[in-house]
A and B are shown apart, each in its own frame.
Chain A
Amino acid sequence: AAGVIQSPRHLIKEKRETATLKCYPIPRHDTVYWYQQGPGQDPQFLISFYEKMQSDKGSIPDRFSAQQFSDYHSELNMSSLELGDSALYFCASSLRAGRLGRVTQYFGPGTRLLVL
């Protein structure tokens, strides 16, 4: 079965540079979520989108922005990168309201960002 696709899988940037992470959800999924996972930490929710509209917001820095496009793929834009932004970034997707109203998030393989 098709899974969530993320690109790139690995990214190395310098401080103060910008980065764009891409996420392609499972076919027919209409909601995407972004999470950040630091070394040895659990994933922390950043932001989510449904039908191109922001649906929930977590601890996303002001330097980061994201959007969802008409084909449901999403991009996370990160500017003025800091050393502390080095982490794994996961995208997850789901149907907004699955069968019986149940929502299940499926995660992609992640993008490992290293800021030097």
Chain B
Amino acid sequence: GQQLNQSPQSMFIQEGEDVSMNCTSSSIFNTWLWYKQDPGEGPVLLIALYKAGELTSNGRLTAQFGITRKDSFLNISASIPSDVGIYFCAGQSAGAQKLVFGQGTRLTINP
């Protein structure tokens, strides 16, 4: 089945540092989504990408849809304590309803 490889699995950074994480797939996706999940809560949509090469920002967050349609990255600039959580990439292929998720990146910030 489809699989997304998300890296890194965890990150330990200092407040104010920039963060970068990415997802790669062996399959082509038409949509890439990035979600943040706090413990015991539902994933919250951060950024949605719909076109190959698309670069989209949401405040301190920037994400790009890879030109090959098989990868995406998320950058967080100037991290703050509330950025702590688990970040998931998710891909959706043409004609499919389901989202396929990456394994998640757990972000920990030292004040």
Instruction: Give chain A's interface residues, CB within 8 Å of chain B.
Output: 4, 31, 33, 35, 42-45, 48, 50, 55-56, 58, 88, 90, 92, 100, 102-110, 112
User: In this complex, what residue of B is CB-closest to A94?
Assistant: B97
- Write the nearest CB–CB distance from B25 to chain A, whole angstroms: 13
Q: Mark B38-52, 1 if CB is under 8 A from A, else 0.
A: 001111110010100
Q: Point out the residue from B33, B41, B104 that lies within 8 Å of A104, measured CB to CB.
A: B33
Complex interface: chain A residues within 8 A of B104 (CB): 42
Is A102 touching B43 in the complex (CB atoms < 8 A)?
A: no
Is A42 touching B35 in the complex (CB atoms < 8 A)?
A: no
- Write the nearest CB–CB distance from B47 to chain A, whole angstroms: 10
On chain B, the number of residues with a Cβ less than 8 Å from chain A's Cβ atoms is 22
Is B98 touching A106 in the complex (CB atoms < 8 A)?
A: no
Is B88 touching A33 in the complex (CB atoms < 8 A)?
A: no
Is B42 touching A105 in the complex (CB atoms < 8 A)?
A: no
Q: Other than A4-B42, A42-B88, A100-B50, give 9 A-B pairs with Cβ distance below 8 A.
A: A42-B102, A45-B99, A50-B97, A56-B96, A58-B98, A104-B45, A105-B45, A106-B45, A107-B43
Complex interface: chain A residues within 8 A of B96 (CB): 56
Is A108 touching B42 in the complex (CB atoms < 8 A)?
A: yes
User: In this complex, what residue of B is CB-closest to A4?
Assistant: B42
B75 within 8 A of A: no
Q: Point out the residue from A48, A88, A104 that lies within 8 Å of B97, measured CB to CB.
A: A48
Complex interface: chain A residues within 8 A of B48 (CB): 102, 104
